[in-house]
Structure 1
């Protein structure tokens, strides 16, 4: 597992959460710039998914089990896009709150992925 990628994904997710949280504080829905931020964070999560699958294919094994590791990788990759779609349906400040919450969830998932791998 690439620790630098895990840290970068977690930090980007927290930055997105702060940004969308600030938008919610200002009573604003998610805007186009927020969706660009979501795309960047999602790209990092997808890169981490690919790296994790490649490491599994090379024969490396997570300390706490392959099935749970893959489940967390898939959940990490799907977290922000799911919140983005929900924020499109809810064009109020609650859409921004949804994305902010998903950013915090993704950061926690990154910590858990690190633990599952054996960090």
Structure 2
């Protein structure tokens, strides 16, 4: 895996979590700008999925197993969009809390992906 991409995705996810957490603190729901931020973080996760699949296709293997690695890759791609959908259903401060939690979960998944690959 590309360590720089993993770090960039984790940092972007934490920034999104802080941003939405601040909105929740101010008793605000997610707004259009938050969804743009979610799209950027989701795009980084999608790029990471493509890079991971390409590396697997080239014959590189993660230390802790290919199935676990692919499962975590799919989970990282689904994490923030799922939080975005939930926040659309809850147009109160709790929608912002949901996205903040999704950002933290994505950052933790990035650390786990790095460990699975053998970092």
CA deviation profile, 1:13-41 (whole Å, cap 9, x unmatched): 00000000000000000000000000000
Measured in 2, the distance between the counterparts of 1:102 and 1:83 equals 6
Alpha-carbon separation, structure 2, partners of 1:92 and 1:52: 36
Equivalence map 1:69-108=2 (5 Å): 69-108=69-108
Partner of 2:34: 34
Determine the C-alpha separation between the residues in 1 that align with 2:57 and 2:33.
36
Identify the residue that residue 3 of structure 1 maps to in structure 2: 3
Q: TM-score w.r.t. structure 2 length?
A: 1.00
Gaps in structure 1 of 5+ consecutive residues: none
Give the distance between the partners of 1:95 and 1:70, measured in 2 at CA.
29
Match for residue 118 of structure 2?
118
Deviation at 1:103, TM superposition (A): 0.2
- Segments ≥4 residues shifted beyond 3 Å: none
Residues 60-71 of structure 1 aligned to structure 2 (within 5 Å):
60-71=60-71
Q: Which residue of the partner structure matches residue 43 of structure 1?
A: 43
Q: Distance in 2 between matches of 1:112 and 1:85?
A: 24
Structure 2 gap ranges (5+)? none
1:54: how far off? 0.3
Structure 2: how far apart are the matches of 1:107 and 1:44? Answer: 12
Counting matched residue pairs gives 119
TM-score by length of 1: 1.00
After superposition, the C-alpha distances for 1:60-90 in whole angstroms (9 at most, x for unaligned) are: 0000000000000000000000000000000
